[in-house]
Amino acid sequence: MSIHINAKVGDIAETVLLPGDPLRAKWIAETFLSNPICFNEVRGMLGFTGTYQGKRVSVMGTGMGIPSISIYANELIEEFKVKNLIRVGSAGSMQKDIHIRDVVIAMAASTNSGINKNRFSGGDFAPTASFELFQQAYEIAKANEVPIKAGNVLSSDSFYTDQPDEWKKWAEFGVLCVEMEAAGLYTICAKHQVNALCLLTISDSLVTGEFTTAAERETTFSEMVKIALSLA
């Protein structure tokens, strides 16, 4: 049992889907998994293990931000021997050709967080996806005719910013969208030499101002989830 995950070794599968919202974890478990069993309720961060197409898989919320997902990623890897950590999250589009409900695969994650600056004594570490998971996700999406975008995303420490237009500089350099966790997940998994991937569904657009509701973000986005589950 770890500090933040009330489970025993063996309760959690080697592949874990990681939505930020614990209620999305509950929806994924109840909608897609056979015989899901809840293994964690500590701090309301729900976690479940079941099977998908005969393969054992877990899903657990991580909360919002790099510090939060880093706690759960560390404990899942060190205490429960998880080998594949797949974030399934929402993001805000920074490009005019990326629309609401589009699926984005994060090849790499830029960030305005200072966590890695501290970790690498001022150096710039480049957090990237595991190629194996990235390639498999791309092929699964292609086989199921799910259009995707792949590239660099921004993991931001700030949801509300004092400079509303600062995203435009990132967009100018080709960053596809903004979220809050991928850079942390990719860094922790690189440290422990396990696999990481971040799949995102566009929930709002900084370009057009369009957005989805909280209920839609919690209980839809099924195309992204099916791709992630197929990686188990």
Burial 128-165 (b: 16+ CB within 10 A, else e): bbbeebbebbeebbeeeeeebbbebbbbbbeeeeeeee
Task: Please pick, among 21, 124, 162, 204, the residue that the annotation labels catalytic.
Answer: 204
Helix, coil or strand: residue 222: helix
Q: Has 204 been annotated as catalytic?
A: yes
CA distance 143 to 137: 10
Helix, coil or strand: residue 33: coil
Structure token digits, residue 39: 């293994």
Structure token digits, residue 217: 């973000």
**Which residues are known catalytic residues?**
204
